[in-house]
Amino acid sequence: MPDLSLVVNGEPRSLEVEGRTLLVHALRDGLGLTGAHVGCDTSQCGACTVLVDGRAVKSCTVLALQAEGTEITTIEGLAQDDGQHPLQRAFVEHHGLQCGFCTPGMILTAHDLLSREPDPDDETIRRSLRGNYCRCTGYQTVVDSVRAAAAELAR
Amino acid sequence: MIPATLDYHRATSLEDAFEALAEPDARALAGGQSLLPMLKLRVARPSLLVDIGGLGLDAIELTGDELRIGALATWGALASAIELDSPGLAAVAECAAGIGDLQVRNRGTVGGSLAHADPASDLPAVVLALDARLELRSPDGERSVAAADFFRMPYTTALEERELIVAVVVPVPPSGSGSAYVSVEHPASGYALAGAAALVRSDATTSVAITGVGGRAVLLPEGGSLDGVEMYGDRFAPEEYKRHLATVVVGRALERATQRVEGAR
């Protein structure tokens, strides 16, 4: 089987994958990073979102081998120190999650957005999270969380 | 859902890609946002995927009176390209910004989408209305195909075996023109139930194309008449409803493009 080498959450990793292996399965089953969730498995729900070279992608719709040589960030690697990333903290404080299944994808997509637009309006936040479905809280608290995180990151 | 067993080859150059594509049942892979879902459903079962995603070919350039979009430019790059910041090319950016969602726009490419030729995809209407041409390359050399000759049937294009799209070339509309793309999307899939691209020139002549309603996108006669355009209904939208939607999106696209003409004055 082909070897895959990439940097995951700051650490060089390599593993054997099949040509058909999806990135989400390489992360979950190969590297034990189960924060990327398989939700719909049809590139709709966004629960499998991870950052590839800083950009949000749906890891159920990328072959693992397409990620050769890239830098991947999963929810496990977002916090820079022992604490939480401001986005994680904001989701907790503003009730941006209930069951939490969609949360890694929501946060990583929001991370991509804020890296390009540090002060987005609500309409931009909503449009950017269009590819992330939440089936419990509704979206208002998610938007509130992203806005709060943007404010904290701007400080 | 996991694709059927396949081999994977990362192409290092176009020549290397052509060589790999000589294998029977090989297919080119760009961003994979259309192809991966087909592989997972096992609707497509290539023996070999030739990944051309690392070949560059993603420049977006204005050169003289042409906009040249590299085939591997992503929707995200296109949506934010300053080269498109003009009333005449507004339809291109508007179309790109409305594709899928942020994650899909980060990976999905212009060339991949055009080669996939989903009958409900958006860009075909825009390239038809703006009279773009596609630059194709194969082991036999290069050729240029007008958008109007490229789309044949659902998922079927003028691409030959081992031929790849390398760029989309859009003539910059004459100054004083405005363009727009307007669609009504299926709320779950995001694909167009009906989408229309309109170009309105300063002399009030127009080019209008429609997508999503039939087997392929088509250029409409002057003025955007939908008489005689073949349309198919499906379980989401019966033919009569599509015909209604088509009228609505053509009207809105013409209206918005006209506003841009006026805004440009």
Using the predicted structure, report yes or no on whether residue A1 has a pLDDT greater than 80. Answer: no
pTM attached to this predicted model: 0.95
Q: What is the pLDDT of residue B112?
A: 98
**Which residue type occupies B16?**
D
Residues of chain A in contact with residue B39, where contact means CB-CB under 8 angstroms, are 20
Q: What is the CATH number of domain B7-51?
A: 3.30.43.10
- CB-based contact A50:A36 (threshold 8 Å): yes
Distance from CA of A92 to the nearest CA of B (A): 24
Closest CA in chain B for residue A39: B1
Same domain, A111 and A143: yes
The residues, any chain, with a CB within 8 Å of residue B226's CB and separated by 6 or more, are: B210, B220, B243, B246, B247, B250
Boundary (domain end) residue, out of A51, A77, A103: A77
- CB-based contact B123:B98 (threshold 8 Å): no
CB–CB of B2 and A55 under 8 A?
no
β-partners of residue A150 are none
Minimal Cβ distance to B100: which of A2, A25, A131: A131
Domain B180-264: what homologous superfamily? CO dehydrogenase flavoprotein, C-terminal domain (3.30.390.50)
Same domain, A30 and A94: no
What CA–CA distances, in Å, run from B214 to A66, A69, B121, B153?
Answer: 34, 41, 11, 9
A66 touching B (Cβ < 8 Å):
yes
What CA–CA distances, in Å, run from B54 to A69, A106, B95, B168, B176?
Answer: 11, 28, 25, 18, 38
**How many structural domains is chain A composed of?**
2
A55-64 per-position pLDDT tens digit: 999 999 999 9
Same domain, A71 and A101: no
Same domain, A71 and A93: no
Q: What is the pLDDT of residue B14?
A: 97
Q: What is the pLDDT of residue A6?
A: 97
Distance from CA of A153 to the nearest CA of B (A): 21
Distance from CA of A147 to the nearest CA of B (A): 18
> How many of the other CB atoms lie within 10 Å of CB of B137?
20
Using the predicted structure, report yes or no on whether residue A101 has a pLDDT greater than 90. Answer: yes
Q: For residue A9, what are the domain limits?
A: 3-77
Residues of chain B in contact with residue A132, where contact means CB-CB under 8 angstroms, are 101
Question: Comparing C-alpha atoms, which of A50, A46, A94, A89 is closest to residue A73?
Answer: A50
Same domain, A96 and A73: no
Give the containing element (helix H, strand E) for A147: helix A140-154
Q: What is the pLDDT of residue A2?
A: 81
Residues of chain A in contact with residue B3, where contact means CB-CB under 8 angstroms, are 20, 22
Residues of chain A in contact with residue B76, where contact means CB-CB under 8 angstroms, are 55
- Would the CA dihedral through A97, A103, A108, A112 be positive or negative? negative
Distance from CA of B219 to the nearest CA of A (A): 30
Boundary (domain end) residue, out of A56, A77, A98: A77
Same domain, A70 and A92: no
Backbone angles phi, psi at A140, to 5 degrees: -60, -45
CB–CB of A63 and B106 under 8 A?
no
Distance from CA of B162 to the nearest CA of A (A): 21
Interface of B with A in 122-181 (CB under 8 A): none
Inter-chain Cβ pairs, chain A and chain B, closer than 8 A: 86
Which has more pLDDT, A67 or B189?
A67
Closest CA in chain A for residue B76: A55
Interface of A with B in 3-62 (CB under 8 A): 18-22, 25, 41-44, 46, 49, 55-58, 60-62
Distance from CA of B40 to the nearest CA of A (A): 8
Whichever domain contains A109, its CATH number is: 1.10.150.120
Same domain, A59 and A102: no
Distance CA B31, CA B71 (A): 11
A103-119 per-position pLDDT tens digit: 999 999 999 999 999 99
What is the residue extent of each domain of chain B?
7-51, 60-171, 180-264
Q: What is the pLDDT of residue B191?
A: 87
Boundary (domain end) residue, out of A77, A106, A132: A77
Distance CA B178, CA B199 (A): 6
Backbone angles phi, psi at A21, to 5 degrees: -65, 130
Structure tokens, A146 = 């992203």
Q: Where are the alpha helices (DSSP H) in B70-172?
A: 75-79, 90-97, 102-107, 110-116, 123-129, 147-150
Pick among 3.40.190.80, 3.40.640.10, 3.30.465.10, 3.40.50.2000: CATH of B60-171: 3.30.465.10
CB–CB of B102 and A65 under 8 A?
no
Same domain, A71 and A96: no
Residues of chain A in contact with residue B32, where contact means CB-CB under 8 angstroms, are 61-63, 66
Q: What is the pLDDT along chain B (265 residues), one digit of tens a residue?
A: 999 999 999 999 999 999 999 999 999 999 999 999 999 999 999 999 999 999 999 999 999 899 999 999 999 999 999 999 999 999 999 999 999 999 999 999 999 999 999 999 999 999 999 999 999 999 999 999 999 999 999 999 999 999 999 999 999 999 999 999 999 999 888 889 999 999 999 998 999 999 999 999 999 998 889 999 999 998 899 999 999 999 999 999 999 999 999 886 6
Same domain, A96 and A62: no
Complex prediction ipTM: 0.97
β-partners of residue B66 are B63, B171
Distance CA A24, CA A46 (A): 12
CB–CB of B102 and A41 under 8 A?
no
CB–CB of A25 and B5 under 8 A?
no
Distance CA B18, CA B79 (A): 30
- Strands A11-16 and A49-52 come out as unpaired
